[in-house]
Amino acid sequence: MLTTRTTWSASGSGASLAAVSTLKSQERFSLDAPPALVWDHLVDPARTVDCLPGAEITGQEDERTYLGAMKVKVGAVTVSYRGKLTFEEIDADRRYVRMVGKGREKTGSGSVTMTMEGRVLVLDDGGSEVTVDSEVRLTGKIVRFGRGMIESISAEVFKEFRGRLAAKLSQEGQGNTADAADGMAGGDGSAAGADGGRADGGASTGAAPADRDDTLNLLPLLLRAFRSWVLRLFGRR
- Please give the mean pLDDT across all residues of the chain: 75
In angstroms, the first-to-last Cα distance of the chain is 19
Domain ranges of the chain: 19-184+214-233
pLDDT for position 219 = 60
Least confident of 9-13, 43-47, 49-53, 229-233: 9-13
Q: Supply the pLDDT for residue 201.
A: 43
State the pLDDT at residue 217.
Answer: 62
> Does residue 112 carry a pLDDT above 70?
yes
Average pLDDT value for residue range 66-80: 78
Distances (CA, A) of 224 to 22, 74, 82, 155: 22, 13, 27, 11
pLDDT at 207: 43
Angle, CA of 189, 190 and 192, to the nearest 5°: 65
pLDDT at 202 over 80: no
Query: For residue 3, what pLDDT is reported?
Result: 54
Query: In this predicted model, what pLDDT tens digit does every residue of 154-192 receive, in sequence order?
Result: 777 788 888 999 999 988 876 555 454 455 455 544 433
Distance CA 85, CA 83 (A): 7
Residue 101: pLDDT over 70:
yes
Q: What is the pLDDT of residues 130-163, one digit of tens each?
A: 999 999 888 887 777 677 767 777 777 788 888 9
pLDDT at 20 over 60: yes
Hey, is 155 helix, strand or coil?
A: helix
DSSP H helix total and E strand total for the chain? 5, 9
Neighbours of 184 (CB within 10 A): 10
pLDDT of residue 157: 78
E strands along 93-224, which residues?
96-105, 111-122, 128-139, 216-217
Contact call for residues 128 and 33 (beta carbons, < 8 A): yes
Q: What are phi and psi of 185, to 5 degrees?
A: -75, -35
Q: At a CB cut-off of 8 Å and minimum separation 6, what does 103 contact?
A: 68, 70, 81, 82, 83, 84, 111, 112, 113
Q: Tally Cβ neighbours within 10 Å of residue 159.
A: 13
pLDDT at residue 85 tops 90: yes
Assess whether pLDDT exceeds 60 at residue 208. Answer: no
pLDDT at 61: 95
Residue 49 has pLDDT above 80, yes or no: yes
**Distance (Å, rounded) from C-alpha 63 to C-alpha 207?**
18
**What is the spatial distance between Cα 180 and Cα 171, in angstroms, rounded to a whole number?**
14
- Residue 144 DSSP class: G
Q: Work out the average pLDDT over 5-34.
A: 68
- The pLDDT of residue 204 is above 90: no
On the question of pLDDT at 198 being above 80, the answer is no
Residue with the bigger pLDDT between 97 and 202: it is: 97
Fold of 19-184+214-233: Alpha-D-Glucose-1,6-Bisphosphate; Chain A, domain 4 (3.30.530)
Q: Running DSSP on this structure, what letter comes out for residue 75?
A: T
β partners of residue 73: 78, 217
